[in-house]
Amino acid sequence: MKQGYWILAVLLSHWRRHPLQLMTLMVGLISATALWSGVEALNQQARASYDRAAAVFGGSRTAMLVGQRSSSFSQQLFVDLRRAGWRVSPVVEGRVRVQGRPLRLLGIEPVTFPAQAGSIPAVGAPDLKSFITPPGEALVAPETLTALAGTEGAALRTDDGESLPPLKVHARLAPDVVVVDIGLAQSILHLQGRLSRLLVGNTRSRLPPLETVAGDMLRYVEADAGTDLEHLTDSFHLNLSAFGLLSFLVGLFIVYSAIGLAFEQRMPMFRTLRACGVSSRQLNGVLLIELLVLAIAGGLIGLACGYLIAAGLLPDVAASLQGLYGAQVSGALALRPEWWGAGLAMSAIGTLAASATSLLKVIRLPVLAAAQPYAWRQSQRRWLGWQGVTAAAMLLAAIIVLTLGDSLISGFAVLALLLLGAALALPVLLALVLRIGERSSRRPLVVWFWADSRQQLPALSLALMALLLALAVNVGVGTMVESFSKTFTAWLDGRLAADVYVNAMSEAEARDIEASLRARQEVTAILPSGRAEIEIGGRPVEILGLADHATYRDRWPLLESRPNAWGDLKSGEAAFVSEQLARRLKRRPGDRLDVGTPTGDWSLRIAAIYADYGNPKGQIAVNIDAFTTRFPDLPRTRLGLRVSPGKIAPLIDDMRKAFHLDESRLSNQSTLKMESKVIFNRTFAVTAALNTFTLGVAGVALLTSLLTLSHSRLPQLAPLWALGVTRRQLAGIEFLKTIFIAFITAMLALPLGLLVAWCLIAVVNVRAFGWRLPFHVFPLHLAELVVVAMLASLLAMLIPLLRLMRMPPAALIRIFSNER
Amino acid sequence: MSASPKISRRAFATGLAFFGFGRSASLAQNFAGLGGDASGFASVMPGKSFEFPRDHGPHPDYRVEWWYLTANLRDSTGNALGVQWTLFRQAIQPGPQREGWANQHVWMGHAAVTRADTHRYGETFARGGVGQSGVDAHPFHAWIDSWQMRGLDRMSAMNVAPLEVNASHEEFSYALRLEADKALVLQGEAGYSVKSERGQASYYYSQPHFTAAGIVTIDGRSANVTGQAWMDREWSSQPLAPDQTGWDWFSLHLETGEKLMLYRLRRTRGEPYLTGNWIGSDGQSVALSPKTAEMIPTATTDVAGRRLPTGWRIIIQDRGMTIDTVPLNPESWMGTRVSYWEGPVSFTGTHRGVGYLEMTGY
């Protein structure tokens, strides 16, 4: 034990003598852990919020029945439907104010609440009893409890004087929602005997038609007609995760190079320790402990930094998710124990992985062999050959996996193989370029310049690989995001072609609205539309009815079409199919598609394929008249309006007054579009921030490599100085060399980055979501990145260069005489 | 205590299961909490005079109550099948019934069909007070959702017949018409059924004399069926002793026209409490002497991760009876929130016939 302590003390003395090396190692560990855990914290926060939202909505995942004519309907309909075999559960909903704070009050019935609708009803036996028997309970999220300055068990009053049951925290609820038993909610909201909606549980039973039980009082709303948060936000989180993992890898490169150097420099020390009688097992054990201590220390600081990063980015992330997908993400970062555990584990495992080769070398260290510091660099030439072979094998494997695999996992494997293969190939390619430079030079100093660059290459290669990866992924992800942004804008214009959308309560009201609109000059077109849910291949598919109008003809985002596609659509014989569905069914324009409808099978020819980004469900579009013939029972309540520019706002005001249409039934597309774009920009703000972070980490990698090199390179520079090259000249040569190497790396990163972007767009996205974005190259973005990379290298060079320029001649003489 | 989450109608009777809404831990707590405390509810006392049709209806002063029907049927090709229809009522708080959603009764329906190779079941729940579920004594009507048991015109209150009963779930449905030419039977001592030496008891009567005919559809295939059926009615506030862990319960139709109701209550320590009634072909019900009856497991089946005694030898010395029962389908597991084994059996030996076996708390 005591011996172990002394060994550790000896080992640690190295770090005391090389604080810069220790700092390098810590920077690597901290940046690896910080970015990874920061992103992870954001993802966890978002996912937890979706679960909570799903628990409350109980609507996005569950089909619903809602009032056809008004926002509430008689409770007797619930009983009638249950008695007819419908597995429905009642919900009453309204707004209340407590202490001036607006809250959403939900009344649920836990005994019939469908299991798939969320977590609220999973009230255990004692909970159920206290929930449904007087005085009942008001379930709220922890944030809401804090905001109301209440304690559990406190009974609050609404600002209207109604008393709420005692508060109880339910961690999985969304903020600003209060859940109480249905009877209590009815009395608080003055809706005795009334319901807001009925949740429809999953069932395979044959049910009597809704109309035979409820007449035309209720309308069926398919599950998921709005959004499925998890599906929709997948791409967003994928993006974040990719960045987190990348930063982690780049950080590990730094750790790898720092540990490699430290082990090499300590070889004589290890040999001496072994010669003093320390067993190999003891030495390795202590080395392992040393590494773990460093990993945990670095990991803890990294986690703290990760928390700060996550907290800093959360407002932007939350705003993007809220705006893009309507997903409420709670603003207070809640960290779970798993997060801490996973962060430390990642740090420890990463450190061990990065030091595996070095450790193995120590294990095999012969006691009597002369320790040869820097031997690793001398044998690098052999390594270079091996690395080249490995790189080629990896790139070949990437091509094989790309052609053979068709799963998402294989898509990611292609990406990983491509990046690793390219990173390994980098030193080989750089060596090649430098050799060509050397061959084509005559002047001695220039030849030395090339030769010295090559000599320096092995030591720099890890940092350069990190730079290459960071740049390539930046290019790749940047290109994907910009492509998406560009496509999204055009696509939004196409899909939200009408100026105003109306969804009437009933067919009669829709006809009234239509009649009143016909009288108005500024309404240039009234476009009825329809929507129904069908099944194709056992999976739900939306079917849209589109009016035959220039609005759609000019703007609908067709990807591929047959000649006269719109004409075919009008005939009712043809359909447009969304890209996701076409891919899933492996159909192309010209193929046939059979659709089951209430009036029998409908055989359609596929006239075109259109983009439907972000929709997890398949979709087909047909002509509205043909749609109405095939789905005669569906009320025609949806209208799209084209309105003369500038007349939209007054029209909406008038309609709102005349027909009491709220925002969910009457929407102005230009506002919606503008909001979407603002939100998209915020999303990219997050991506840009993460991009900068990764590039920063790569810069740090370069800096640390140059710093550790600058010491060991002096013996090579001293003779030149002795031959008459000034320190200023030497510094200039060093500067040119590094900039040149970094520049070549950046230039290699550009094609690699575009390849990564192609992989993301054409392989990963397609396999993950079923749609493919058009591939755009953004030269300005690429140029910008090269400049940033150059600046990062410049910054990294600054300290070593200044040090060289200011080195006293005496020091150089000493090195010259010592080393020769 | 591990038995507590797997309890059924008899254990449900203590109010401890609360329809399985909780997890095992909370059930275990409930076992200690609710099992011993029935205060506020009416007590079951000997010497009650039953009154029909009033007693076909609910008894809200008592904590728990059920309407329970099992039928042993055959289709037109002679294949045996079984049908179960059950409605449970439980009060979660004592006191007069409150109106609307404030009503403190919770209802649970179970339905099942069993063939030699298939067992399908379904369950549903309802709150009292709004009409989703309930029971009217006259005209007799018990319902939950679309499942119901209804007295037909001119229903005899003493025979509880004619009745129609139906239920449907995702994979099955059935509709039966029940007739009876004999009157219902009071179980235990004139309807007072003792469940332990410590005096836990319930009010208990049965109509074991039903003949049944109707249609059973399983997985889309319909069959015309005929056979016999047995209805149990029981209510109590605390019929189980705290140390009783489960039941093995038989209702048997003998080919002679006689009926046997027999069960044993297992407990954590000591001998099971065994009791039953012999119902003669004249309809006379006589309580069995526990000392003369024996129930011995002879075969076990592993189902739903449990080992259950699905084969039994039943010996009743007074009646010269020694029979061996075999299940129609040994995997008749009711994987409902409150889970148990319930399925048709047939028996041979000194007597032959069919019946139903229910096993809880395994």
Q: What is the DSSP track for A576-589? A: EEEHHHHHHHT--T
CA distance A280 to A413: 38
Contact B170 A205 (CB under 8 A): yes
Q: What is the mean pLDDT of chain B?
A: 86
Instruction: Pull the structure tokens for residue A806.
Output: 């200011």
CA distance B89 to B143: 11
Position A324 scores a pLDDT of 53
Position A83 scores a pLDDT of 93
Position A680 scores a pLDDT of 60
CA distance A502 to A665: 6
Contact A112 B169 (CB under 8 A): no
- Residues in chain B, overall count: 362
Contact B132 A182 (CB under 8 A): no
Residue A53 has pLDDT above 80, yes or no: no
Instruction: Tell me which chain A residue has its CA closest to the CA of residue B170.
Output: A205
Contact A125 B27 (CB under 8 A): yes
Tell me the pLDDT tens digit for each residue of A790-801. Answer: 887 787 778 778
Q: What is the mean pLDDT of chain A?
A: 79
Does residue A367 or residue A646 have the better pLDDT?
A646
- B24 touching chain A per CB within 8 A: no
Instruction: Encode burial over A610-648: b for 16+ CB neighbours within 10 A, e otherwise.
Output: bbbbbbebbbbbbbbebbeebbeebbbbbbbbbbeeeeb
Position B33 scores a pLDDT of 29
pLDDT band at B215 (very low <50, low <70, confident <90, very high): very high
Region A165-169: what's the mean pLDDT?
90
Helices (H), B280-350: none
- B145 touching chain A per CB within 8 A: yes
N-term to C-term CA, chain B:
11
Position B174 scores a pLDDT of 97
Tell me which chain A residues have a C-beta less than 8 angstroms from the C-beta of B169. 205
Tell me the pLDDT tens digit for each residue of A454-489. Answer: 777 776 777 778 778 878 877 887 787 778 777 777
- A276 touching chain B per CB within 8 A: no
Domains of chain A, residue spans: 1-60+232-373, 62-221, 505-660
CA distance A40 to A43: 5
pLDDT band at B25 (very low <50, low <70, confident <90, very high): very low
The dihedral over CA atoms of A499, A503, A508, A509, expressed in degrees to the nearest 10, equals: -70
Contact B101 A183 (CB under 8 A): yes
Residue B196 has pLDDT above 80, yes or no: no
N-term to C-term CA, chain A:
43
Cβ burial of A603 (10 Å; 0-12, 13-18, 19+) is exposed
Tell me which chain A residues have a C-beta less than 8 angstroms from the C-beta of B143. 83
Does residue B152 or residue A807 have the better pLDDT?
B152
Chain B closest-CA separation from residue A772 CA (Å): 40
- B49 touching chain A per CB within 8 A: no
Q: pTM value?
A: 0.57
pLDDT band at B205 (very low <50, low <70, confident <90, very high): very high
Mutate which of A80, A132, A181, A203 to disrupt the B interface (most B C-beta within 10 Å)? A132
Position B221 scores a pLDDT of 92
Tell me which chain A residues have a C-beta less than 8 angstroms from the C-beta of B14. none
Q: Dihedrals φ, ψ of B153, to 5°?
A: -55, 145
Instruction: Pull the structure tokens for residue B208.
Output: 């074991």
Cβ burial of A653 (10 Å; 0-12, 13-18, 19+) is exposed
Name residue, tokens 């090269």: A786
- B28 touching chain A per CB within 8 A: no
Tell me the pLDDT tens digit for each residue of A426-439. Answer: 888 888 888 888 88
Residue B144 has pLDDT above 70, yes or no: yes
Position A1 scores a pLDDT of 62
- B93 touching chain A per CB within 8 A: yes
Angle formed by the axes of helices A280-325 and A19-57, to 10°?
Answer: 40
pLDDT band at A713 (very low <50, low <70, confident <90, very high): low
- B23 touching chain A per CB within 8 A: yes
B4-37+52-359 CATH: 2.40.370.10
Name which of B178, B70, B67, B79 is nearest B121 in CA terms.
Answer: B70
Nearest to A85 among B102, B132, B145 (CB): B145
Position B197 scores a pLDDT of 74
Taking the CA atoms of A65, A70, A74 and A80 in sequence, report the sign of the dihedral they define. Answer: negative
Nearest to B145 among A83, A129, A183 (CB): A83
pLDDT band at A575 (very low <50, low <70, confident <90, very high): very high
CA distance A42 to A308: 11
Tell me which chain B residues have a C-beta less than 8 angstroms from the C-beta of A109. 101, 127
- A182 touching chain B per CB within 8 A: yes
Judge whether B84 and B348 are in contact, CB under 8 Å: no
Position B30 scores a pLDDT of 30
pLDDT band at A199 (very low <50, low <70, confident <90, very high): confident
Contact A126 B131 (CB under 8 A): no
Instruction: Tell me which chain B residue has its CA closest to the CA of residue A181.
Output: B101
Position B310 scores a pLDDT of 95
Tell me the pLDDT tens digit for each residue of A226-256. Answer: 444 555 566 567 666 766 776 677 677 777 7
Most confident of B5-9, B58-62, B234-238: B58-62
Q: How many helices (H) and strands (E) does chain A have?
A: 27, 20
Tell me the pLDDT tens digit for each residue of A83-142. Answer: 999 999 999 988 788 888 878 888 989 888 876 665 554 444 567 788 888 889 998 888
A239 sits in which H/E element: helix A229-265
Contact A125 B106 (CB under 8 A): no
Position A359 scores a pLDDT of 79
Q: Is A60 helix (H, G, I), strand (E, B) or coil?
A: coil
Tell me the pLDDT tens digit for each residue of B70-126. Answer: 999 999 999 999 999 999 998 888 888 898 999 999 999 999 999 999 999 999 999
Contact B132 A203 (CB under 8 A): no
Query: 10 Å Cβ neighbour count for B214?
Result: 20
Strand partners, B72: B82, B228
| Cα Rg of chain B, angstroms | 19
Contact B101 A182 (CB under 8 A): yes
Q: Is A134 helix (H, G, I), strand (E, B) or coil?
A: coil
* Share of residues in chain A with pLDDT > 70 (%): 82
Position A580 scores a pLDDT of 84
Residue B317 has pLDDT above 50, yes or no: yes
